[in-house]
Structure 1
Amino acid sequence: MGAKDSVEACGRCAMSSAADLTSGRSPFAGEDVIEVEESDLRAVSRHVVALGALKTRLNEWARALTYGR
């Protein structure tokens, strides 16, 4: 029996523990919550999407240069 036999790799234990802590109630009950419209969030995060696309293209270019594909 190895050390990993008693550990679940999927993370289900952590999610079960987090769900047990809330005891079926919202963790934000009684607290002020900041809500942002999806359209507003998209408008301010366009640069993140653009930089992610640039990173992907640079990685593809570097991989092609490195491995000659």
Structure 2
Amino acid sequence: MIESKLTEYNYIIATLLNKYHIKYNYDEFAQLLFIRMWELIQEYNPNQQMSLKTFLFTPLELLPHRSIPLN
């Protein structure tokens, strides 16, 4: 179940990495996003009115901002 959802929504990770022009440490950022996606899929409640895609995209979109050092 989780593996199929990770495969189905994996394009979100590439979309976000391209959106934020992540070139340096691309693999590390992709791995962070993949792990967070896995956690979010486990937390998702299908009885909510929010779709899984929306539930995943919003928190994942914020992750690169929190992960990039300001120095």
* TM-score, with structure 2 as normaliser: 0.29
More helix by share: 2
* Structure with higher RCO (Cα < 8 A, 6+ apart): 2
Larger-Rg structure: 1
* TM-score, with structure 1 as normaliser: 0.30
